[in-house]
Amino acid sequence: MIGLARSAGSAPAGLLWLTLAWLAATGWARPLTLPSEGRYVGVAWEMMASGDWLTPTLNGLPFFHKPPLFYWLTAAAMSLLGTHVWAARIAPLLGAAAGAWALYLFARRWFSVATAELMLLVLLTQPLWFIGGQFANLDMLVAGCITVTIVLLAHAVLCAEQGHPHRLALVGAWAAAGLGVLSKGLIGFVLPGLVMLAWLLATRRWRRITMLLWWPGPLVFLMLAAPWFVAMQLRFPKFLDYFFVLQHVKRFALRGFNNPQPAWFFLAVLAGLGLPWSAWALRLRVSVFRRAEPGSDVRVLMACWALVIVAFFSLPESKIVGYVLPAVPPLSLLLADAAGRSGGRWSKATAVLGAMVCLGLVAGMSLRQQPSNREVAQALRAHAEPGDTVLFVREYFFDIRFHARWRPPVQVLDLWDSPEVPLGDNWRKELADAGAFAPTAAAATLLTPDRLPAYLCRAGTHWLVTPVGLPSDQQAFLGTAEVVLRGSRATLWRLSPGDPASAAALGCQGAPPAG
């Protein structure tokens, strides 16, 4: 964003630090949300703990649902700042701050200083952007990369039209697109391309398309994005088919994935989680998009940007709230423009109300008992010794290894040979898919019930974690186990086959007869 910052003039650097401080202030206040935050932070923690910064793993098995940039940033933050939830949320914080700062500089240069400052206030006091900036998954990171890419591409076009230097911004845009691909895959490149194409056609600038393809840009893009994909394909021959065909094409086009929602879902999300600012949409006027109106080209860009993002993610059946985050920045600029035309008093009141809503939501989520296994993990950390084994029964508890600082992979007991496992879109399929890339490691960690007696009869102490409400017909082997802690979601048990009664009950070889 260097070229954009230079063009914006003497923008106050303090606004960047205020943006970071506001987004980060409450990032520590609540436990990891399950399963999403627990999954991605757990993968990052494994990367840090194992020292393998190339291959993301889930319970020691190659995990290729998403590319590695989130894991790299999170693992680096935890290495420097410690293993806690605030450090685990650095990646979305950086994505939210980068997106906000890039659009602020762009609006300051090509719209007006007043509207740029109000846009920053609108963006940062919208619950969707504020909460997304402290939610540890990949959605905000890629949203930030997409935002930086689009504003740098548009900045390059506008600078070229006025005869100003533009190539630094153009190369920066391609670099941001490369980081976007490393954040969440092809959308980091495809969505900025679709937005720019729509804008260039809508404003009759289609001849500028060739300018955006200036060869150093794609070269920088490939130098950033390609090496990790090539390395994974060389190490795992089926990687590219799994990552691009299954996790991109089929997930977008087919049914059967999680969270199916109607076509209007994202409109409701933007309206509801954009309050109170979304109410200003009633003040938007079609006339401000006409070419004769000052700033109309920027408004058309923002409109094309928001429409492309919402339309793209509304097509598939599976819809998750965070998908629509890249549409929030352009809508914030349009809302700031509308609010600015109506006077400053009501804008300030809306900002105060928006900030109160944001902080109130965080407080509510912190006070409300959210699903978390932190207490069970802390008990495991306090009692388990090196050389002990850990077994998860009928569920993979994503956050336990992170909170317990448990480095070795755990064993997971389930019906792994069931034909229903590949049909789901859940933790079972994630582990099964990961195990397909490392069959030997999967055989050691994914246990079926017929292998359980041999596992439990091994010497040493076994720590078992079971979900609350495990059916009685699935817990017969727990008869001699000691309950260490009953948590809100899981129970921690200790089992020692060295104890004669336990060995006899388990039927271990060489054990004295029961009774």
Q: Are residues 339 and 409 in the same domain?
A: no
The verdict on residue 177 lying in a domain is yes
Q: Output DSSP code: residue 260.
A: B
Q: Are residues 394 and 499 in the same domain?
A: yes
The verdict on residue 26 lying in a domain is yes
The verdict on residue 9 lying in a domain is no
- Report, in angstroms and rounded to the nearest whole number, the Rg of the chain calculated over CA atoms: 26
Tokens found for residue 70: 């989130």
Q: Are residues 349 and 424 in the same domain?
A: no
Q: Are residues 381 and 320 in the same domain?
A: no
Q: Are residues 358 and 380 in the same domain?
A: no
Domain end among 337, 367, 397 = 367
Distances (CA, A) of 180 to 147, 355, 409: 10, 29, 30
Domain end among 312, 345, 367 = 367
Q: Are residues 244 and 124 in the same domain?
A: yes
Q: What is the residue range of 156's domain?
A: 14-367
Three-state SS letters, 304-353: HHHHHHHHHHHCCCECCHHHHHHHHHHHHHHHHHHHHCCCHHHHHHHHHH
3-state class of 483 per DSSP? strand
Domain end among 344, 367, 390 = 367
Q: Are residues 380 and 362 in the same domain?
A: no
Q: Could you give phi then psi for residue 129, rounded to 5 degrees?
A: -75, -40
The verdict on residue 303 lying in a domain is yes
Q: Are residues 127 and 195 in the same domain?
A: yes
The verdict on residue 251 lying in a domain is yes
Q: Are residues 167 and 259 in the same domain?
A: yes
DSSP string, 410-430: PEEES-TT-TTGGG--SHHHH
The verdict on residue 515 lying in a domain is no
Q: Are residues 358 and 379 in the same domain?
A: no
pLDDT in 10s for each residue of the chain, 515 residues: 655 655 655 567 788 888 999 999 998 888 899 999 999 999 999 999 999 999 999 999 999 999 999 999 999 999 999 999 999 999 999 999 999 999 999 999 999 899 999 999 999 999 999 999 999 999 999 999 999 999 999 999 999 999 899 999 999 999 999 999 999 999 999 999 999 999 999 999 888 999 999 999 999 999 999 999 999 999 999 999 999 887 777 776 666 567 788 999 999 999 999 989 988 887 777 666 766 666 789 999 999 999 999 999 999 888 899 999 999 999 999 999 888 877 667 788 888 999 999 999 998 888 776 778 999 999 999 999 988 999 999 999 999 999 999 999 999 999 999 998 888 788 999 999 999 999 999 999 999 998 988 888 887 899 999 998 877 666 667 777 889 999 888 999 998 876 666 666 666 765 544 43
The verdict on residue 512 lying in a domain is no
Q: Are residues 421 and 356 in the same domain?
A: no
Global pTM reads: 0.93
Count the domains in the chain.
2
Residue located via tokens 């906000």 = 100
Q: Are residues 350 and 404 in the same domain?
A: no
